[in-house]
Structure 1
Amino acid sequence: MAWSSSSSSTSNTPPQKHEVFISFRSEDTRKTFTSHLNAALERLDIKTYLDNNNLDRGEEIPTTLVRAIEEAKLSVIVFSKNYADSKWCLDELLKILEFGRAKTLIIMPVFYDIDPSDVRNQRGTYAEAFDKHERYFQEKKKLQEWRKGLVEAANYSGWDCDVNR
């Protein structure tokens, strides 16, 4: 059953393109968990947004992604071992949290083969990622925003998916 986007016939609101925005580190989960999640949601007739399938040609990617996050009702953040390696994923996370704080987006984290406390406390591969970011990225304020964003997101109630179970 699809989530309904009920609106009156006099509404000027354009139809929603998607209901769920999925944030993920492509190399970690695109061909495994994320593709399975996307397929399951589509079988339920729930429209999803994945960055590879829904980008309009000719548009700037950041603008498109911000709009996609803003239009969604729910964002599933798939935290994987290498999620924090990507500045792109971390910036996307900050936008998701911004809309979540504004109460326009429900946030659901999935901890895919990573302990939620490693995300929250930036341990393990997340500590390694931030070591690299601190060496090569000069914007210290942005680094702090990313760190705070990971803590905030890891404090949401979500799912812990241990692939070795």
Structure 2
Amino acid sequence: MASSSSSSSSSSSQEKYDVFLSSGHVNTYKDDENLESSHRFSEIMEAIRESKICIKVFSKDFASSTWCLDEVVRIIECKRDGNDVIIPIFYGIEPSTVRKQEQSYAEAFARHEQRFKDSIYKVHRWSNSLKEVAGIRGYNSKKGR
């Protein structure tokens, strides 16, 4: 199961972690954003394909990471093949902000469009995948803890 959080700091000095994932007797795959490399990327893409459930945490800065956006594309591809259940968690951000790519998501995509202007299809795939996953019923942290 691939999951990641792009939130870089805790909201309170007592909070050390952004996410606690308790899986009991369930095999899980933990994806840490600080482990980026081409070898890890292929391992993560394979782990997504082999997972029954993908939990994806969307935060304010999520869209700035091309790594995270690539994961969303892969998750959506697997969902279309009937392999995955996707549970989106919207942490400190409204699902509509992700779906419409507003605020920090609009800023991130403006940067991506400049950076990837020679392969703009990649940016469009990220955008379309975000729209699709944000349309899936998930958990919104702004509506309750």
- Tell me if both proteins adopt one fold, taking TM over 0.5 as the criterion: yes
Instruction: Name the residue aligned to 2:74.
Output: 95
Partners of 1:79 and 1:88 lie apart in 2 by 13
Deviation at 1:163, TM superposition (A): 8.7
Partners of 1:102 and 1:128 lie apart in 2 by 31
Structure 1 runs (4+) deviating above 4 angstroms are: none
- Taking the TM superposition and a 5 Å limit, the aligned residue runs for 1:11-160 are 20-25=1-6, 27=8, 31-34=16-19, 36=20, 38=21, 40-41=22-23, 44-52=24-32, 60-138=39-117, 139-160=119-140
Partners of 2:52 and 2:28 lie apart in 1 by 10
TM (norm. structure 2) is 0.83
Change (3 A) 1:93 1:130: same
Identify unmatched segments of 5+ residues in structure 1: 1-19
Instruction: Name the residue aligned to 1:16.
Output: none
The number of equivalent residue pairs is 137
Aligned Cα RMSD in Å? 2.5
- Cα offsets for 1:109-145 (capped at 9, x unmatched): 0000000000000001101111111122222111111
Question: Which has the higher Rg, Structure 1 or Structure 2?
Answer: 1
TM (norm. structure 1) is 0.74
Deviation at 1:23, TM superposition (A): 3.5
